[in-house]
Structure 1
Amino acid sequence: MNFKAKTILHKGTPRIAVYFEKNAALIARIKTFEDACWSASNKYWHLPDTEANRLHFKLPLAHTLVPNAEGMASIETFKRYLLSKRYSPNTINTYSDALKSFLTFCNTKAIKDISNEDVICYNNDYILKNNFSSSYQNQIVNSIKLFFKIVKDSQIEIDKIHRPKREKVLPNVLSKEEIKAILEAPKNLKHKAMLSMIYSCGLRRSELLNLKPNDIDSKRNVVIIRQSKGKKDRITPLSPKILELLRNYYKEYSPKTYLFEGQKKNTQYSARSLEEILKKSIKLVTINKPVTLHWLRHSYATHLLESGTDLRYIQELLGHNSSKTTEIYTHVSTKNIQQIKSPFDDL
């Protein structure tokens, strides 16, 4: 593989960036790596910063990169525990990598001797020193707490492990005019239907790609979203306009296994191709913002709130566990703010 690789911080998380000229064979190979992602803004593929990936791309190993033998065995036990609890493969990988990072830091100690003070030292001497994000630190805390629940002989007091203070970042929201322009930009019927479904139902990218034809219930006018984040099913309203668009799409493409299939029948449409559709649509309407697919979901929620929909219903439609997650949209809604008259107008 003709490539260049280096360790990076991607959105505050340690990753390995891989650069190479666009090539179908190389793209196919990089996709075989666990959790390989393409960054359209940075123009590189990035992978988890693990020992195996460093070795594969011939990157130097840090001297504290590997937990001790007891730590490695404990990680495997932890994986089996998460598997028995039916955690998703992605969550198991995320938690295992997070635990490995912590046990690597503590690799001179036996598991039973690790204390809350070690967690504080890890946060100060590793997380903060390397400028890792609070969300990455929170992943580590989740993993540590869950791991030490199954450790019988431990000095760790789980309830006293503190979480980082989270940054209060507002969701990015587009106006209805901007949304309309983006959704009308694609000439391809499938592309138009995919983007329209994300906005009209407030879907996550994975939720759209996992939809099956039978998940569209035209008689009840709902979309059934199965086993999404948190392994939950939920339903969202199906608007008459989107139903008409889907019927036209169905007549032309006749999908079988997935509602939106790739070039080969019965295969799921690729996440990267979906992102490219949005990217091209943004260029066509000359919106100079770093719009992502998740902005469409944020915009759906905010527009619902501005039209008077109760926050509790929006929480259900989005599939949020906590109402606090949904409440963030009250901070970006302009419904009440626009009614406030600035004292500047009276000068």
Structure 2
Amino acid sequence: MQTGCRWVFVFDTLNSEIKLRHYSPKTLKAYRGWTRHFQTFTKAKDYRELTQQDGADFLRYLAVEKQVSASSQHQAFNALLFLYQHVLKKDFGEIKGVVRAKRRPYIPVVLSREEIELIFDHLCEPVDLIAKLLYGCGLRLFECLNLRVHCFNFDAGILTVHSGKGEKDRTVPIPQVIVPELKLQLRKVTAIHEADLQAKYAGTFLPDQLERKYKNATKEFVWQWFFPAQSLTLLREQQEYKRYHIHESVVQKAIKRAANDAKITKRASAHSFRHSFASHLLQANYDIRTIQELLGHKDLRTTMIYTHTVPSKTIKQAKSPLDF
């Protein structure tokens, strides 16, 4: 067996296959990480000689010797499955005899409406508005930060979430109570955009295929981030500046700090607002399938997690809990 083989082909192909399927950057980062661990575990064995047993031994090593969590074991298994099927073009098959921890039943952290309002009160602009969208529309954090100007249809009262988890689009009602704040934020985006144009900056970031197809779209107003970052990003190769959206860590840290300042005793995070959105709709007797659509869940069983303590009845018309 050869050791010390270069895996450049493996990582280049992994990158291409994931982008081909429009998986998220987080998935790419996770799968690359597990592939790197697998390379180290096999002592950089020639990837053309990898067998199913190598994968089984790696998973057993993670479970028994490293004692990684059940969720990490599950993610590592998915990464290896993708590696074998789409990069190595080998059958991963059913791995028998591998010890894998079972996932514990997950109970999401749900905040009360009073706790949510307390956190809102301890947040500054624009994170307070971001938090209101997370709760008022049931958005994931990356979905909220990826919103662009064209996503908001104020006339129809509809927010379109593009490229959500699994690259699915969906629409949710805009909470009417925060429309004035949203329009104020839109005016701020307009001012930032006009200043960027005057400074001859290169506009915003777009997905590669869109930027190739629409050459001037990076500078068009409708494509600007709804929550733009304060500072610009320098692209060294092109020697030009572009504006990205607010970074996730900025929002996460602000929400954690606000929860501490508000003396919230629960493990509140950005995702807690989405959990609370679903739970509060159930408490208001909304139909579970309506909530499934609003959350963008592919499988109803994922939405059913919120029914563990809340009896549900049926209301079909969608409405934001911020408007209750």
Task: Calculate the TM-score normalised by the size of structure 1.
Answer: 0.67
Query: 1:261 maps to what in 2?
Result: 228
Q: Aligned pair in 2 of structure 1 residues 239, 73: CA closer, same or farther (>3 Å)?
A: closer
- Aligned-pair Cα RMSD in Å: 3.0
Query: 1:145 maps to what in 2?
Result: 81
Q: How does 1:40-51 map to 2 (within 5 A)?
A: none
- Letter of the 2:228 partner, please give it: E
Q: Return the offset for 1:293.
A: 0.7
Q: Does 1:179 align with 2:179?
A: no
Deviation per CA, 1:208-247, whole angstroms, max 9, x where unpaired? 1111222111111111111122222111111210213323
Contact 2:189/2:226 (CA < 8 Å) preserved in 1? no
- Letter of the 1:180 partner, please give it: E
Contact 1:275/1:292 (CA < 8 Å) preserved in 2? yes
Contact 1:194/1:208 (CA < 8 Å) preserved in 2? yes
Structure 1 gaps of 5+ residues are: 1-66, 337-347
Contact 1:99/1:143 (CA < 8 Å) preserved in 2? yes
Query: 2:102 maps to what in 1?
Result: 165
Q: Aligned pair in 2 of structure 1 residues 283, 334: CA closer, same or farther (>3 Å)?
A: farther
Structure 2 gaps of 5+ residues are: 194-223, 233-242, 314-324
37, 54, 57: which one aligns with 1:121: 57
Q: Return the offset for 1:129.
A: 1.1
Q: Return the offset for 1:273.
A: 2.3
135, 138, 143: which one aligns with 1:199: 135
Q: Does 1:306 align with 2:273?
A: no
Query: 1:224 maps to what in 2?
Result: 160
Deviation per CA, 1:312-338, whole angstroms, max 9, x where unpaired? 1212111222222111111253779xx
What secondary structure, in the 3-state scheme, does the structure 2 residue paired with 1:69 have? coil
More strand by share: 1
Deviation per CA, 1:124-172, whole angstroms, max 9, x where unpaired? 3333311211222112211222222247785x54244676522212111
Query: 2:299 maps to what in 1?
Result: 322
Q: Aligned partners of 1:157 and 1:284: how far apart in 2? A: 50
Q: Aligned pair in 2 of structure 1 residues 83, 302: CA closer, same or farther (>3 Å)?
A: same
Contact 2:134/2:141 (CA < 8 Å) preserved in 1? yes
Query: 1:294 maps to what in 2?
Result: 271
Deviation per CA, 1:254-307, whole angstroms, max 9, x where unpaired? 464221223348542232222233234324422133311111111111111111
Question: 192-201 or 125-134: which moved more?
Answer: 125-134
Q: Aligned pair in 2 of structure 1 residues 318, 123: CA closer, same or farther (>3 Å)?
A: same
Query: 2:37 maps to what in 1?
Result: 101
Residue correspondences, number: 269
Query: 1:333 maps to what in 2?
Result: 310
Q: Aligned pair in 2 of structure 1 residues 189, 123: CA closer, same or farther (>3 Å)?
A: closer
Deviation per CA, 1:82-124, whole angstroms, max 9, x where unpaired? 3333434432232122123224323486556544443333223
What secondary structure, in the 3-state scheme, does the structure 2 residue paired with 1:279 have? helix
Contact 2:147/2:225 (CA < 8 Å) preserved in 1? yes
Question: 288-297 or 253-262: which moved more?
Answer: 253-262
